[in-house]
Amino acid sequence: MNPAATKANLLSRIDGLDRIPTMPAVLAPLLRYVQAPVEPLDGQRVTDMIVQDKSLAAQCLQMANSPLFGRHRIDSLRGALAGLGVHGVSDIAMSCGVLNLMPKDSGGKGIDPVIFWQHSLGCALVCRHFARKISYPDPSKAYLAGLLHDLGIIVNLRVVPKEFCEAYEFARARGIPLHEAEQAVLGFTHCESGRLLADKWELSNDLKEVVSLHHSLQQSNHAGLVALVELSDLLCRMGGLNYGYLENRQVNLFEQTGFAVLSQQCQSLKDLDWARLTFEMDSYLDPVHALVRTIYRT
Amino acid sequence: MTTAALHAVTALEGPPGPDLVRIRDLVYQVAGIFQPDNKLHLLLDRCGRRMKELKTASLREYFECLTVKPQRQAELVALLNEITIGETCFFRNRPQLDALRQVVIPKVLEAKSKVPLRRLRIWSAGCSTGEEPHTLSMMLLEEAHGRLKGWSIEILATDLNERSLAHARNAIYGAYSTRHLTPHFRHKYFIPAGEKLQVQPVVRGSITFSRLNLSDDGRMTFMKGIDIIFCCNVLIYFDLLSKRRVIQHFYNNLLPHGYLFMGHAESLHGVSEAFRLVHLPGATAYIKVNAARRESRRI
């Protein structure tokens, strides 16, 4: 396959096709609302949006009872609101809504898309945890950014599954980052295809940059948020919240562009205990896998 | 206190209590070994064993045993022993070993490619009964006809305890130590010794066991030209000052491209700024800060 020749062809297929996912009906107003600079968010309004979709509401309750979101016993959205707060509930609703867009299989091409579900949810949790640790001003936005950063993978899985699976196998066999394999095989990465979906969904500019620039942060105007995602994504990929394989390389987070950018915004980053943050991520592994199995396989 | 009553105190249901979190943070602060939330039930179990021994009724009271009571140092050591008990076995930390083989060894060989002496020196500092150095030797033998062809391997294995070293030299191990061995390694590198297994001479040939106190500044100075140090769950027993001294020695012992591996959940945060944490596939290690800067300039 000639990557240069296929790039234009595949991207045009993505851009023109109706297989590119449309945002679920409930998600669109919710996403608009949580992205709007409204403080404080109105909890009742958020739950009113969620209950419009019974299946989504049921998934939200399953997720709200996961240890990932505290150890509350929750049996209603009202209870979730009381136990987790409005940001907690909207984070959960967005997670269920976005992750439901992941195809259930890759058309027999050998990839279990659950791994991308796990990575995206894991990255969202790590982003939020990391944001809190360094006193980043908006941990909920950090969560949303982690959740959405790989939107392009959903697009690739749906629109160019055969070619994407080839790229994935190329990456896994060599232990290289997925975006490098996509570039080599497809001629473009999930950042580019994700940008098309982010535009279509009319995401806010900072989230569009997260989706399209988390592997090339130098070009970003919202570098703090993108840097946070870049570093969290790396931590996930080098640990147990990866794409189903470990990258065969050494990563020095202190030398990442994201570290330099984020250090300027968050003074406490210089004193961050990276080892502890890495160990703490271990506690997400089992609950993320269990939750994804429960929700995704039902 | 009855077993049932103790179970009631130490059963982890619902969110972890503040006393358990305080004990977790104390252990991390003093010993540098961290128990993430999903492992807190293990810490709780270990505390339970100590509480039974001390006849302590609550975690709060036990926290006081660790912080206020005169015997607090000894109790902390007793708890650390409970935390690390059973960790000594072959292939204890598989991701760390895979990272060594797939990422670290190639990087070290590349760094040494211009040096005429093709020798790799690995130090297992605090090797206890020898499972770690034997594991390393087996791993490297697997590469003997591949990327390590033509290289001589030296594994220095040191410990303070003579009895542990005698066990290590004897190289006979029971079922518990060998529980993680795959059939491949079991058949290729062990021979039966009664109901136990003995490590084959080919594995033992590259290892030199010797007694060494890591706090012995004089002898530590002579450990030179090391490529990779493994020091797992040893420094957790040292106070901060002693830990800093040992780490400074490690820094001097390691060649510029050298690597320091610690235990699975062990950290050097707050101990040394001379080393920098790096992430490897499924594991972490430390490299010298100067080496980290050199690498970034190359990029």
Q: pLDDT, tens digit, for every residue of B167-180?
A: 999 999 999 999 99
Chain A to chain B, count of Cβ pairs less than 8 Å apart?
A: 84
Looking at domain A3-20+103-297, which CATH architecture does it have?
Orthogonal Bundle (1.10)
Tell me if A175 and B276 make a contact (CB, 8 A cut-off): no
* Among candidates A238, A275, A286 on the partner chain, residue whose Cβ is nearest the Cβ of B38: A286
The segment with the largest mean pLDDT, out of A10-14, A135-139, B105-109, B115-119, is B105-109
pLDDT at residue B32 above 80?
Answer: yes
Nearest CA-CA partner of A274 in B284, B288, B260: B284
Looking at residue B297, what is its pLDDT? 57
Residues of A in contact with B36 (CB under 8 A): 279-283
Judged by CB atoms closer than 8 Å, whether chains meet at A285 and B38 is answered as: yes
Of A238, A251, A280, which is closest to B36 when you measure between CB atoms?
A: A280
Looking at per-residue pLDDT, the higher value among B212 and B6 belongs to: B212
| pLDDT value for A264 | 92
Give pTM, 2 decimals: 0.88
Residue B162's Cβ-side half-sphere holds a number of Cα atoms within 13 Å equal to 0
pLDDT at B116 exceeding the cut of 70: yes
Q: Which residues of chain B are within 8 Å of residue A239 when distances are taken between CB atoms?
A: 279, 282
Radius of gyration of chain A (CA): 18
Whole-number Å distance between alpha carbons of A155 and A162: 12
| A interface test, pick of B39, B41, B278, B295 with most A CB neighbours within 10 Å | B278
Say whether A279 and B267 touch across the interface (CB within 8 A). yes
pLDDT at A61: 87
pLDDT-based confidence at B193, cuts 50/70/90?
very high
Stretch B197-219: mean pLDDT: 96
Nearest to B103 among A250, A283, A287 (CB): A250
Rg of chain B on CA atoms, in Å? 21
Find the helix or strand (DSSP H, E) in which A165 lies: helix A161-174
Helical residues (DSSP H) of chain B, grouped into ranges: 3-10, 18-31, 40-54, 59-67, 72-84, 94-99, 105-111, 131-141, 162-170, 183-189, 201-204, 217-220, 240-253, 289-298
The strand ranges marked E within A166-233 are: none
Among A259-268, B94-103, B184-193, name the one with the lowest average pLDDT: A259-268
Q: What is the mean pLDDT of residues B19-31?
A: 92
A9 Cα to chain B: minimum distance (Å): 33
Amino acid A14: pLDDT: 67
Contacting residues for A295 by C-beta, under 8 A, at least 6 apart = A59, A62, A63, A96, A99
Q: Give the pLDDT mean for B195-200.
A: 97
pLDDT at B51 over 50: yes
Nearest-Cα distance to chain A for B280, in Å, is 5
ipTM confidence score: 0.88
Residues of chain A with CATH 1.10.3210.10: 3-20+103-297
- Output the pLDDT for position B81: 84
Intervals of chain A under pLDDT 70: 1-11, 13-21, 37-38, 71, 106-110, 297-298
Give the mean pLDDT of chain B.
90
**Average confidence (pLDDT) over B116-127:** 96
Residue B299's pLDDT is 46
Q: Is the pLDDT of residue B260 over 80?
A: yes
Q: Which of B36-45, B73-82, B103-112 has the highest mean pLDDT?
A: B103-112
The reported pLDDT for the residue numbered A4 is 54
Written as one string, the DSSP assignment of B165-223 is HHHHHHTEE-TTTTTT--HHHHHHHEEEETTEEEE-HHHHTTEEEEE--TT-HHHHTT-
